[in-house]
Amino acid sequence: MEILVKPCGEFYTNCYIVDRSIVIDPGVGAFEFVKEHCDEVKAIINTHGHFDHIWDNKKVKEYFNAPIYIHKNDAFFLENDPFGFNPPKVKPDFLLDEGEIEITGKKFLIRHFPGHTPGSITIEFENDMFSGDFIFDGSIGRVDFPYSNPEKMKKSIKKFLEIPYDKRILPGHGPTTTIKKAQKFLPMWLDYL
Ligand SMILES: [Zn+2]
Ligand SMILES: [Zn+2]
């Protein structure tokens, strides 16, 4: 397995490419990065619907004829940006729920962790977990945005603390961490929320 990453746009939103065929969170300018490294794209998966994670969805979808996957609770962001930045509007192709999905023979485990947004997810593939803006290295996503919910974030953190195994975490911004490391710093955020 190969994972490529590029921080995109003014918020340095990480766009990840898995095995040169699956694109996670194509933010501002990610299209050029994807075009440079992929001959084909089999799926675009959004960890959540914020503009900086979905900005180049439309370009990548149309150029590669690739379907967009997003959690059902965040699909509305693709056509309604509450921040007013107005990324190119595009319709999702598959609405995700918690559970396993298969894309070209690869199995991805989707977990639903609402709080930062109603449809924030983590995407697990082999020994990696893409965490979007749910968990960063040492912190968590903001819960003071429109459609954020601190109470749901608390529940999501408690649910995350139950994960019994370790994996590398690749967040939506900043450097990597691990599930075990996150489980150590997360209880502090429960007190803060
Ligand atoms: Zn976000
Ligand atoms: Zn973000």
How far, in Å, from the CA of 181 to the mean position of ligand 1? 21
> What is the rounded average pLDDT of the residues 154-172?
98
- Report the pLDDT value the prediction gives residue 71, as an integer from 0 to 100: 98
In this prediction, residue 163 carries a pLDDT of 98
C-alpha to C-alpha distance for 62 and 90, rounded to whole angstroms: 10
DSSP string over 165-183:
S--EEEESBS--EEHHHHH
* CA 108/CA 105 separation, integer angstroms: 10
Please give the average per-residue pLDDT across 14-40, as a whole number. 98
Which ligand places an atom closest to the C-alpha of 83? 1
**What average pLDDT does the segment 114-128 reach?**
98
- Of 87, 89, 95, 74, nearest to 145 (Cα)? 74
Ligand nearest to the CA of 134: 1
- Which residues keep their CB under 5 angstroms from ion ligand 1? 50, 133
* Domain spans in the chain, listed from the N-terminal domain onward: 10-192
pLDDT of res. 182: 98
CATH code: domain 10-192 is 3.60.15.10
Q: What pLDDT was estimated at residue 8? A: 98
Q: What pLDDT was estimated at residue 28?
A: 98
The pLDDT of residue 3: 98
Mean pLDDT of 57-81: 98
Percent of the chain with pLDDT over 90: 98
Read off the pLDDT of each residue in 62-85 and give the average, rounded to a whole number.
97
The H or E element that residue 101 is part of is strand 99-103
Ligand nearest to C-alpha 172:
2
What is the predicted pLDDT for the residue at 82? 95
At 130 the pLDDT is 99
